Amino acid sequence: MSVACPLHKSGFAERAEHGWSAPTSAFLSARHLARKSVLALANQTFREPTGNFVRCLYGHAVFPEQRETLRNLVRYCRNRGEFITTAQLRTIVESGEEPDGRFFHLSFDDGFANVYEEGGAVLAEEGVPYVMFIATDLIGASLEKMQAYNDTALKYRQPLRTMTWDQVRQSIADGAEIGCHTQTHARLSHISCDTVQLVAEISEAKSIIENETGRVCDAFAWPFGKHADIDEAALTAIKDAGFSICFSAERGAVVPGQDSMFEIPRHQLELHWPKWELELFARGYRD
């Protein structure tokens, strides 16, 4: 991938290289290289755990040229365990008991159309359940609107096209789960002192999804996903809105009896990363 690649004329990113940039500063470049060398060393030395586990994986996009990468990744995981739905995950966490098998849970954040258009068929063929956490204001958004989001919250090289509500409904009919990711991809820790805004981003987003889909939406993933991006007021608002499970983007295995149902860890995996890097996290590195 290179920043020298021409942008796509539609304005939206249509291939991975339009969406993901090389590091844009010396600092980011150095951090990127440091991360790569840590991972390369881990890939040589990490020993795969032998016990049972629950491991949540998440990403953002499935570009057309990444369909087989996704297929290979879910097959790699399925050689190690089975994919479960959010309801099954909730049951395991509620039990407070060590999991009685090896389980993966898969989700995608933000509601980008290519997850459904490119990834949906692959995941259906492979029999893999998945969740799309959508930010309601982004659904069906114009290029101009997505550019504005891209200038602030999302930071892709070119904006990614999001699903329409018709696609959201169709994805459910095809077996996908829909979860909530706020209305405007807000950083909840920055707005939690504003009760009206917090209700809009959490409770009203839930209602919008339920009105559009006719289904109960009871799973939430908070934008940006780190502990610094959420606080007690926001977590309380998520519980009060009626969500029964909430996902972070902090890495780690899910430990029933120890992890809160409202801070379920997830491993980020993006399909433009090298195959060995995807597989390293799928094997449990940084569980």
3-state secondary structure of 155: coil
Select 223 or 284, whichever has its Cβ closest to Zn ion.
223
* Interacting residues with Zn ion between 27 and 66 (CB under 5 A): none
3-state secondary structure of 102: strand
Distance CA 224, CA 203 (A): 19
Return the range that interacts with Zn ion (CB under 5 A); candidates 108-116, 120-128, 200-208, 246-254: 108-116
The nearest distance, CB 285 to Zn ion, in angstroms, is 23
Select 20 or 53, whichever has its Cβ closest to Zn ion.
20
If you search the block for the tokens 């050689």, which residue do you land on?
79
Select 179 or 284, whichever has its Cβ closest to Zn ion.
179
Distance CA 155, CA 273 (A): 17
The nearest distance, CB 182 to Zn ion, in angstroms, is 9
Return the range that interacts with Zn ion (CB under 5 A); candidates 37-45, 103-111, 168-176, 276-284: 103-111
Select 92 or 205, whichever has its Cβ closest to Zn ion.
205
Residue 157 token pair: 């090289």
* Interacting residues with Zn ion between 155 and 194 (CB under 5 A): none
Residue count, binding to Zn ion (CB under 5 A): 3
- The site string for Zn ion over 61-100 (x = CB under 5 A, - otherwise) reads ----------------------------------------
Select 179 or 223, whichever has its Cβ closest to Zn ion.
223
Amino acid letter for position 242: G
By CB under 5 A, tell whether 223 contacts Zn ion.
Answer: yes
3-state secondary structure of 234: helix
At residue 131, φ and ψ (nearest 5 deg) are: -115, 140
By CB under 5 A, tell whether 109 contacts Zn ion.
Answer: yes
Select 59 or 129, whichever has its Cβ closest to Zn ion.
59
Which of 87, 134, 93 is CA-nearest to residue 111?
A: 134
Strand pairing report for 267-268 and 53-59: parallel
Distance CA 58, CA 249 (A): 8
Return the range that interacts with Zn ion (CB under 5 A); candidates 38-46, 61-69, 216-224, 251-259: 216-224
Residue nearest Zn ion by beta-carbon distance: 109
Select 109 or 279, whichever has its Cβ closest to Zn ion.
109
Does residue 90 contact residue 244 with C-beta atoms inside 8 Å? yes
By CB under 5 A, tell whether 110 contacts Zn ion.
Answer: yes
3-state secondary structure of 164: coil
Distance CA 266, CA 285 (A): 12
Binding site for Zn ion (CB under 5 A): 109-110, 223
